[in-house]
């Protein structure tokens, strides 16, 4: 054993490490990014959730309720209010996922207040997302407490009713105790069902990472791409062929996890033909978007260690900001911006609508459109960056 021989091996490996900036960044910088993302992706306060308000009363007493609601919009900003003229339209948007809850002020609200008949407000929640629904309900219950006048104290001997009531009620309070009637739109949702959409998305991502990253780089390192380059195929032919193959594999993996995971989680009517068609559409565009994303990241990479090194980092940066584990409404603003450009976000939203709510095309068309646009932009970038020569 010679010390200078060992030193030579150490020197060679260290030179190789320092010549790969991507590996250095992955090993030193990205773990900090994981810490930041995970630290802020759980347990934040719900903000700027869309709440549908249906005021069927339009009376003086309902205006006090509206004032309290808009005070929350201007203050804590727990929700944003979208006003609807009728309850059916609000319920349609609730089932499609455009709003998270509906607060209905019934047409006889003011009359019941004046008659002292315990008026009720109907709070209809999308209970597929218990975190968000609980956050909105808590704020509505606080509004209820501010609306309700204090209980009357017992009358003292010789005291008149007028003197007892004087000063007890102000214009900001209602003379009758308001009740909140909570209605859950869907049956109880176990957390395993809530996680299913994220599990399906991560399965497609793993296939995209392997097919669009590791295999692609390994093929280049082994010289297999030289066979492609010796043919008259254009850059567009090569990119579209490789991306399409990866998308098909991602669709197969996603559909398999959807069916098996759906049976394990107890998703009702998982074999419904119409739902399966919509699921295939969502899974197909999700696989296309993710494989395009991975291909764009790896199109100029030659080091086979890079995709393996960044696998866990990309998993963290894409999966957790998507709302698969905790709603995006609880994220800080900078993390919400990551979720906006994250294809996971739209895949998870569409899959939750189909699996938990069994919505139709009205619940997925926006997500499908954004994923298609995302894939088109990325594929164009892949074609522009792909090198036709060795």
Query: Which SS3 state, helix, strand or coil, does residue 173 take?
Result: coil
Quick check: 52 and 126 in contact, CB under 8 A?
no
Confidence of residue 166 (pLDDT cuts 50, 70, 90): very low
Query: Residues 172, 178, 184, 185: what is their CA dihedral angle, to the nearest 10 degrees?
Result: -70
pLDDT of amino acid 152: 45
What confidence tens digit (pLDDT) does each residue in 211-243 have? 766 777 777 666 666 666 667 777 787 788 888
pTM attached to this predicted model: 0.77
What confidence tens digit (pLDDT) does each residue in 65-108 have? 888 888 888 888 888 888 998 898 999 888 888 888 999 988 88
Burial label for 18, CB within 10 Å (0-12, 13-18, 19+), is exposed
d(CA 59, CA 388): 71
Structural domains of the chain ordered from first start: 49-150+158-184 (3.40.1710.10), 190-385 (no CATH)
- Nearest-5° Cα angle at 163, 161 to 166: 110
pLDDT of amino acid 24: 62
Residues 6+ apart with CB under 8 A from 146: 68, 172, 173
Confidence of residue 297 (pLDDT cuts 50, 70, 90): confident
Burial label for 22, CB within 10 Å (0-12, 13-18, 19+), is middle
Residue 253 clears pLDDT 80, i.e. is over it: yes
Over the range 317-328, which residues count as b (16 or more CB within 10 Å of their CB) and which as e?
bbbbbbbbbbbb
Query: Which SS3 state, helix, strand or coil, does residue 246 take?
Result: helix
Strands 120-125, 179-184: pairing kind: parallel
Looking at per-residue confidence, does 362 or 281 come out higher?
Answer: 281
Query: What angle separates helix 191-209 from helix 343-352, to the nearest 10 degrees?
Result: 140
Residues 6+ apart with CB under 8 A from 329: 46, 47, 48, 49, 100, 132, 135
Residues 6+ apart with CB under 8 A from 129: 100, 194, 327, 352
pLDDT of amino acid 164: 43
Calculate mean pLDDT across residues 171-189: 74
Q: Two tokens at 130?
A: 């218990």
Residue percentage of the chain with pLDDT more than 90: 10
Q: Which residue spans within the chain are E strands per DSSP?
A: 49-55, 79-84, 101-105, 120-125, 179-184
Residue 160 clears pLDDT 50, i.e. is over it: no
Least confident of 18-32, 89-103, 195-209, 291-305: 18-32
Average pLDDT value over all residues in the chain: 79
Residue 161 clears pLDDT 70, i.e. is over it: no
Over the range 144-165, which residues count as b (16 or more CB within 10 Å of their CB) and which as e?
beebebeeeeeeeeeeeeeeee
């Amino acid at each position: 054993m010679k010390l200078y021989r060992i030193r030579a091996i150490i020197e060679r490996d260290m030179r190789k490490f320092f010549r790969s900036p991507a590996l250095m960044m992955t090993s030193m910088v990205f773990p900090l990014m994981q810490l930041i993302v995970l630290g802020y992706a759980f347990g934040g306060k719900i903000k700027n959730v869309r709440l549908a308000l249906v005021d069927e009363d339009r009376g003086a007493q309902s205006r006090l309720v509206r004032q309290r609601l808009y005070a929350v919009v201007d203050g804590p900003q727990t929700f944003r209010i979208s006003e609807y003229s009728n309850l059916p339209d609000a319920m349609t948007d609730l089932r499609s996922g455009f709003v998270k809850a509906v607060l209905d002020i019934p047409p006889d609200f003011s009359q019941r207040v004046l008659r002292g008949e315990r008026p009720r407000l109907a709070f209809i929640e999308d209970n597929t997302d218990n975190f968000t629904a609980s956050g909105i309900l808590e704020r509505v219950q606080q509004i209820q407490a501010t609306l309700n006048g204090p209980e009357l104290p017992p009358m003292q001997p010789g005291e008149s009713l007028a003197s007892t009531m004087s000063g007890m009620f102000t214009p900001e309070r209602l003379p009758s105790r308001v009740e909140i009637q909570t209605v859950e739109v869907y049956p109880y949702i176990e957390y395993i069902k809530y996680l299913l959409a994220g599990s399906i998305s991560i399965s497609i991502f793993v296939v995209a990472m392997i097919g669009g990253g590791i295999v692609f780089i390994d093929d280049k390192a082994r010289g297999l791409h030289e066979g492609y380059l010796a043919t008259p195929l254009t850059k567009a032919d090569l990119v579209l062929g490789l991306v399409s193959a990866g998308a098909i594999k991602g669709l197969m993996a996603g559909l398999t996890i959807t069916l098996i995971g759906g049976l394990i989680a107890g998703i009702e009517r998982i074999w419904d033909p119409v739902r399966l068609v919509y699921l295939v559409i969502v899974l197909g565009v999700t696989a296309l978007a993710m494989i395009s994303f991975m291909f764009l990241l790896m199109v100029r990479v030659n080091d086979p260690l890079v995709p393996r090194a960044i696998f866990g980092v990309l998993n963290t940066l894409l999966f957790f900001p998507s709302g698969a584990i905790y709603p995006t409404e609880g994220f800080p603003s900078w993390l919400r911006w990551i979720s906006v450009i994250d294809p996971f976000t739209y895949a998870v939203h569409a899959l939750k609508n189909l699996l938990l709510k069994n919505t139709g095309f009205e619940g997925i068309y926006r997500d499908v459109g954004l994923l298609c646009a995302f894939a088109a932009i990325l594929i164009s970038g892949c074609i522009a960056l792909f090198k036709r020569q060795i």
